[in-house]
Amino acid sequence: MKKTLIALSLAILACVSAAAEILETDHYSIEYPEGFQGMEEASRGFEAIRSSFDELFRFAGGGSLGKVLVLADKAAYDEYLAGIIGTPRNQYLFLKYADPEASRLVLYPAQGKSGYAAFSGPDLNRQLLLQYLYRRINEPPLWIREGFQAYFENLVYDPSSGTLSTGGYSPWLETAKNLASDGSRYLSPEDVLSALAAQYESAAFYPQAWSLVKFFLSTERGDYLRFLHESFVLLDSAGGEGRNLLSQAENTDLVLERFARFTGPSGAERDFTLWLERQKTYAQMVQEGMDAYSAGSWAQARASFAAAFAVHPEDPMPLYYRGLTEYAAKEYAEADRWYKKALEAGAEPSTVNWALGLSAMAEGRNAEARAYLTTAKTANPARYGERADKLLKSLPK
């Protein structure tokens, strides 16, 4: 048994020994492999993301630097975790210990990447947030821990400009709306705010914690935002000059009592439900655009497709329908532009070339029309062969 423990300890030390360089920033002490390129750039990203946490939570500063351990690669990461928790992970991990000085965020660079790009993504954002929360609060309320992890997933740091963007659309919206309509899995605001660890399945709790956090931050009702900020103050002040050492249940009750002063459970549920109903998923944006197009409401169709494009610019369907909208509105140059975007995004070539051919015909660009219609016919003769022949015969030579 002793030999096994010694072997594991040596394996862990071997992994860590590769991290021969140490970089200290305002809030982090980062140990990383000698020769890794771009650690300073990566650290600026870490600091920028942390600053967004500070802007929201405004916890008291001070204390020692947060420890970050960067291992050489995924293999070294797996070996390190095998000696700590006994199992590998496909995601980064914040290792939390009773002694905050022993806690650390463990990372590894993506293969073939350097600088901030080697770590960037929702997983990094989540683990940086956990490290931030646990340095001030020993056991934060579950909804704060889970809901804000999901909320901050959208943060994107741009190393070239040093700026941080939040992104307006979350992939959790559709799941949250689906859960809200499922009576067996729906969680009311009171359910979410009072939840303790392992009380609900993560697949149901995480998206609904996100939706409640998003509601607090974006609703026009200022009292909910005020409740949120007062909750942070309560949790922070419970730590005095050190850390908040209350249990999760105690911190949860502390926040729940404050929530009761703002609004009753039924009022909060009504406000939240109305807000969630008004949030449009990507599928709803596309469908509303298609419905507006069918109804001849060009302005509404444009607005809906533009909103969809902002969320998923790579999806050819709204691009193609935006082209149809412009064609119907007799804006042929715009129609061509959106059709070509759809083609670049992977839309079915024969369909788009047929549409481009009709647009060119409408403007009298007969040579272009002939080329597009011929391409559509060649690509899909069963669908466009006969129809293209009729139009081609009608074009002037």
Its CATH architecture, for the domain 282-394, is: Alpha Horseshoe (1.25)
* CA–CA separation, 282 and 306 (whole Å): 11
Identify which of 360, 371, 374 has the alpha carbon closest to the alpha carbon of residue 332: 360
How confident is the model at residue 78, as a pLDDT?
Answer: 96
pLDDT at 3: 38
Q: Return the percent helix, strand and coil in the chain, to nearest 5.
A: 60, 5, 30
C-alpha–C-alpha distance, residues 57 and 213, integer Å: 13
35's CB contacts (< 8 A; 6+ apart) are none
Distance, in Å, from the CA atom of 369 to the CA atom of 336, rounded to the nearest integer, reads: 12
pLDDT given for residue 265 in this prediction? 66
Q: State the DSSP code for 10.
A: H
CB 258 within 8 A of CB 141: no
**For 65, which DSSP code?**
P
DSSP-based three-state secondary structure for 69: strand
Residue-level pLDDT at 50: 97
* Closest among 350, 348, 293 to 317, alpha carbons compared: 348
- 2-136: CATH homologous superfamily? Collagenase ColT, N-terminal domain (3.40.30.160)
Q: What is the pLDDT of residue 151?
A: 97
pLDDT value for 10: 45
A 10 A CB-CB count for 373 gives 25
Closest CA to 327 of 282, 372, 284, 375: 372
Domain residue ranges in the chain: 2-136, 172-278, 282-394
**Contact call for residues 140 and 59 (beta carbons, < 8 A):** no
How far is it, in rounded angstroms, from Cα 253 to Cα 126? 24
In three-state form (DSSP H/G/I as H, E/B as E, the rest C), the secondary structure along 198-212 is CCCCHHHHHHHHHHH
Using an 8 Å Cβ cutoff, are 351 and 320 in contact? Answer: yes
CA–CA dist 359, 373 (Å, integer): 11
Averaged pLDDT, groups of 10, the chain, 397 residues long:
41 52 96 95 98 95 89 96 91 93 96 97 98 95 98 96 89 96 95 97 98 95 92 92 92 94 81 96 97 97 96 96 98 98 97 98 95 97 95 90
What are the phi and psi torsion angles at 348 (to 5°)? -60, 120
pLDDT of residue 9: 44
Residue among 52, 73, 54 at smallest CA distance from 62: 54
pTM metric for this prediction:
0.87
Q: How many CB atoms neighbour CB 186 within 10 A?
A: 15
Calpha distance 114→41 (Å, rounded): 9
Q: In whole angstroms, give the CA distance from residue 337 to residue 359.
A: 11
Strand partners, 70: 107
Q: Cα separation of 136 and 131, whole Å?
A: 9
**Strand blocks (E) in the chain:** 21-24, 28-32, 66-70, 93-95, 104-107, 156-158, 163-165
Question: How far is it, in rounded angstroms, from Cα 358 to Cα 344?
Answer: 19
